[in-house]
């Protein structure tokens, strides 16, 4: 695996959950980082601690604005495209915006990467597999997606973005890769963003019932955000262009996850079952053989340690945000 260095990097969606951790890691490594975000679902608060760093710049703009993307000064060596609503709570409220950032936004950022001869990484998702009929999910599985269901605005946005990246590489030779990120958790998740870990933690800390969808038998595989960032940057440094899964091996039912959160927070909350969302995947676990063999990547942070860090962050002020 080739090691690359990046004097300058552009991170779209850099004020979001995973994007802000990428910005922080790159800034700490000495890379000059431009964080572009429209803060519709992200928050300036996520990168405020980087503002005093000489090698960090925040640009309030939208990736779908071609003028804003093309006018950014200087040349970039690395472009990470993470701009997109990522939680059901967000993309169901912003369906057209989600589709647009996956299409127009991806095209704009790809063109910038091509112009600068930069390494490009698209943040895709396990949602491209839909409600999978194969388990675990390998990168060569095409998925089982409802193209007109309520989740399709996110699923198909990412599937189209993957097709666009693949076509752009074939036509223009863009040095582009695709990372399929599975369920990631950690500090800077919004308390009410609709995903299980922040929902359960915030409910437990407030003493409210933890709302488990359906009978709670559906599974997710959890990965701490620091491990996810390691995987993304390992892919960026590599020569890989094929889609690559990055995710945890700790497959857990939603009912068991709720119980773990109650135990970790020492909460007296109980569990309340609610209606399961339409097209909610029954199982989700990545086959990470490609990442392990080609990138030397495996998750390192245990669930117990990752949950402790996440709970501490919520206790320290996320609930008041």
Spell out the domain ranges in the chain: 8-185+222-249+283-299
* DSSP one-letter code for 149: S
Has residue 114 got a pLDDT over 90?
A: yes
Distance from C-alpha of 43 to C-alpha of 188, rounded to nearest angstrom: 9
Q: Write out pLDDT tens, residues 80-94.
A: 999 999 999 999 999
Specify whether the CB–CB gap between 222 and 250 falls below 8 A. Answer: yes
pLDDT band at 321 (very low <50, low <70, confident <90, very high): very low
Half-sphere exposure of 228 (CA within 13 A, CB side): 28
Homologous superfamily in CATH for domain 8-185+222-249+283-299 = NAD(P)-binding Rossmann-like Domain (3.40.50.720)
Closest CA to 82 of 109, 49, 55, 51: 109
pTM of the model as a whole = 0.96
Our answer to whether residue 129 is catalytic in this structure is no
pLDDT band at 3 (very low <50, low <70, confident <90, very high): low
For residue 136, cis peptide bond before it (omega within 30 degrees of 0): yes
The catalytic position among 91, 129, 141, 154 is 154
């Amino acid at each position: 695996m080739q090691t690359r260095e990046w004097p300058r990097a552009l991170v779209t969606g850099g004020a979001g959950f995973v994007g802000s951790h990428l910005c922080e890691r790159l800034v700490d490594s000495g890379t000059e980082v431009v964080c572009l975000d429209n803060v519709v679902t992200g928050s300036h608060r996520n990168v405020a601690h980087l503002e005093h760093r000489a090698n960090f710049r925040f640009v309030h703009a939208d990736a779908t604005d071609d003028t804003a993307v093309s006018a950014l000064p200087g040349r970039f060596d690395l472009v990470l495209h993470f701009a997109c609503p990522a939680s059901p709570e967000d993309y169901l409220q912003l369906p057209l915006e989600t589709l647009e950032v996956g299409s127009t936004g991806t095209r704009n950022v790809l063109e910038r990467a091509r112009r600068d001869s930069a390494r490009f990484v698209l943040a895709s998702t396990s949602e491209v597999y839909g409600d999978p009929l194969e388990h675990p999910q390998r990168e060569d599985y095409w998925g089982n997606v409802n193209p007109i269901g309520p989740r399709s605005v996110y699923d198909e946005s990412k599937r189209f973005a993957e097709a666009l990246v693949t076509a752009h590489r074939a036509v223009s030779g863009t040095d582009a890769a695709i990372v399929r990120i599975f369920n990631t958790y950690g500090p800077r998740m919004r308390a009410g963003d609709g995903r299980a870990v922040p929902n359960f933690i915030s409910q437990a800390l407030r003493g409210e019932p933890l709302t488990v969808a359906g009978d709670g038998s559906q599974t997710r595989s959890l990965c701490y955000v620091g491990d996810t960032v390691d995987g993304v940057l390992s892919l960026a440094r590599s020569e890989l262009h094929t889609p690559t899964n990055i995710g945890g091996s700790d497959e857990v039912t939603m009912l068991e996850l709720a119980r773990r959160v109650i135990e970790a927070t020492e909460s007296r909350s109980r569990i309340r079952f609610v209606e399961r969302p339409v097209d909610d995947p029954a199982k989700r676990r990545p086959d990470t053989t490609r990442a392990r063999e080609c990138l030397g990547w495996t998750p390192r942070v245990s669930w117990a340690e990752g949950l402790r860090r996440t709970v501490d962050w919520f206790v320290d002020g996320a609930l008041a945000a």
